[in-house]
Structures are given as structure tokens and as C-alpha cells.
Amino acid sequence: MQSLTNRSKIVAKKEMTFTERLYLPAIFSGMLITLRHFFKRKATIKYPEQTREFSKIYRGQHVLKRDEAGAERCTACGLCAVACPAEAITMVAAERKRGEEHLYREEKYAATYEINMLRCIFCGDCEEACPKEAIFLTDRKVDSLYTRGEFVFGKNILVESLIKEKQVDVTVRETPDVAGFKKHKEYAHNIVK
């Protein structure tokens, strides 16, 4: 068969030499490799007793941000769901009623918003796609849970708390370019605390 890449190798079964047939040299060289690894610096750590330092922009569990007045920023545009390569995000949009302005910042909001954490690959595409700076990944780790259903996180888990101390500071995730862009008057409404 003609090769397209010239990377294929023809493998031939060759006769073993006398030393190879003894097996002992191969066993000893294998044991020597194991012994050498005893004295090498270990690549693993004893988690959970030890933990590594995480990057400030670690991509962990998502948060749906509120604005400065505490209203949900998400307008259920669906761009995060479209951008998601794992198809982990689903939502149902609803129209804001009169008197709900303090709950939802835009006229349309997500009545339900779900992320399937078993599908999510924590790529951050949803965060980048969001025009309202409503969704961010955080340094929080997703808990270990027992059933598949529990990994579908709804708004009760994703929307950030109204308590200031429990809110996530996402400004560390901002690149200088994005920070500069937000100083533009026209986009001032998108400033996230």
C-alpha cells in the first residue's frame, strides 16, 4: 500500500540474541530504572494533604455574575451555549416583568440556566463569548458528587451570592486590553466589580 506520510515503519520479527534469551539482563536493567526513580524528585504530590499553587486565572467552576445593584447580568442571548464545544450549556429565556428590574438587568433573562459539569471541559469559551460579562470561570473546584444528575448545575448554584464576602472577584481575569476597552464610555454599563 502507498504511504501518504512516509512515517510508517515495516516491523519484522527478528530472532532474539543469546543475551536477550537469557532475560536476566533485561530484568536487571528494568530494576535499575525503577531504582533510579526512587531518588528522583517526585512529579506527584500527596493530595489532599498537599496542594499546588493555582493560577489566578485557573478555570474552575462557573459563576453567573450580578451587576453593581445585585441584578443578574445574563440576558439569555445563548452565545455561551453556541460557543461551548462540549454542548454543556442549556437555558430557557423569559421576559422581565415590570417590577423585576432589581432582579434582572436586561429585559430578557435566563429563567433556567444549566451547565452539565460532566460535559464541561473548562475551556473558557463561554466566558469569552459572553457580551454581558455575565459568566466567568473561577478558582473554585467542582465538588465530587455521587450521581450524574447532581452534576447538572442550575442557577441555584451558578448565580453568585448577594452577600459581598461570598462574591468572586473576576477582575484578576481581565487582560489589560479588556480593562482598557471597558473604560470606553459606551461600554461603561459592562463594568464588573
Q: Which residue has 448565580 as its cell numbers?
A: 159
Closest CB 89 distance from ligand SF4, rounded Å: 5
A 10 A CB-CB count for 101 gives: 13
Distance CA 113, CA 91 (A): 4
Closest CB 193 distance from ligand SF4, rounded Å: 17
Q: What is the CA radius of gyration of the chain?
A: 26
Residues 56-85 that bind ligand SF4 (CB under 6 A): 74-80, 83-85
Among 57, 58, 96, 124, binds ligand SF4 (CB under 6 A): 124
Q: Please, which residue, 30 or 85, has the CB nearer to ligand SF4?
A: 85
Candidates 12-20, 126-134, 148-156, 174-182: pick the segment binding ligand SF4 (CB under 6 A): 126-134
Q: Please, which residue, 50 or 94, has the CB nearer to ligand SF4?
A: 94
Distance CA 151, CA 193 (A): 28
Task: Label residue 127 exposed, middle or buried (CB < 10 Å: 0-12, 13-18, 19+).
Answer: buried
Task: Write out the residues near ligand SF4 by the rule CB under 6 A.
Answer: 74-80, 83-86, 88-89, 91, 115, 120-126, 129-130, 132, 134-135
